[in-house]
Amino acid sequence: MADGPSFCQRVVQVVFEYDTPRIVHIKNKKVGLINRLIQLGIIGYIIGWVFVYKKGYQDFGDIVSSVSTKLKGVAYPNRTDIGDLNRVWDIAGLVVPPQQRDGFFIMTNMIITPDQHQTTCAEAPWIGGNVSCTDTDTSNCPAGHVELTGNGMFTGKCANFSSEVQTCEIQGWCPVEQQDNPPSPAVLEDAKEFTILLKNTISFPLFNFTKRNILDDYDPGYLKNCRFNNSDPVDKYCPIIRLDTMVKEANQNFTALAEQGGIMGIFIVWDCNLDLHYNHCLPHYSFRRIDRTDSHFSVGYNFRLGMSL
């Protein structure tokens, strides 16, 4: 059995010997062409796909964004069926609350229950519980009881809701709210002319990049008078948007939306390639109705609000 080279021999071989690859030159045009095509394919993939198309050399950073809104407008109902509410309405009365997180509310319609005050009256028969009674049978009206869906506290008595219907008497805000459909057309349909100023500031902290949707090169006169128009190459970046324009961009009808209410979404997209000039980073606006319109009940958006007149 032969012994392998000693450790010292291996060290000598590593230090004093030199290896070089042997090159074989093949004179074959077909093999040479295939070799060059493979090389070109690899180079083309790296440059064209990885670097140019996929921009593999770039880094991606998260965006930090803040949005605030400012609304302007005046509406006048010009109708006789709403009593003292037939007056000039401005933003102070229609935007409730004046500021809120990630949104705003504009009142466009109202079902009015006038002259309410704290007293006693007949409960509404449609509230869901059994509130029917007679002068001689008030078993459904125990004093002190409060129906979950009702309008007040039972007094233990029976009262006339109408000439034909008697219900339990309650103590609360009277008269109770009526079960009416919203007025058509909407009381404040003129709100479609209101404008929204969107103020959006974005930042890419990774790249120390900050910008606003109110562009730096705007002329103050232009900003005061411009209105968003998605089909105009300049006005599609205007941050002032009419409510009616917003609704139309979402393929909705403002007249119908104003009657029942609804929830609209405003989307601001910043897709910026920071390899390009600062001025190429621009916002893109889109609008969509968020609530469902095909529901059979509880359609739209509404809430109750007390107002002192």
Q: What is the pTM of this model?
A: 0.72
Q: Please give the structure tokens belonging to residue 179.
A: 């079960």
Question: What is the distance of C-alpha 24 from the center of its chain?
Answer: 68
Position 305 pLDDT exceeds 90: no
Q: What is the pLDDT of residues 2-53, one digit of tens each?
A: 555 677 777 777 777 777 777 777 777 887 888 888 888 888 887 787 677 7
Per-residue confidence (pLDDT) for residue 3, from 0 to 100: 57
DSSP 51: I
For residue range 271-299, list pLDDT tens digits in order: 888 877 888 889 999 999 998 877 777 77
Domain-wise residue ranges, the chain = 28-57, 64-107+184-289, 117-174
For residue 134, name the pLDDT band (cuts at 50, 70, 90): very high
Give the pLDDT score at 80: 82
pLDDT for the residue 72: 92
Does residue 58 register a pLDDT over 70?
no
The architecture CATH gives domain 64-107+184-289: Sandwich (2.60)
Give the pLDDT of residue 91. 85
Note whether 208 and 190 are within 8 A (CB).
Answer: no
User: Which comes out higher in pLDDT, residue 120 or 115?
Assistant: 120
- pLDDT of 124: 92
Half-sphere exposure of 63 (CA within 13 A, CB side): 17
CA–CA gap between residue 27 and residue 32 (Å, rounded): 8
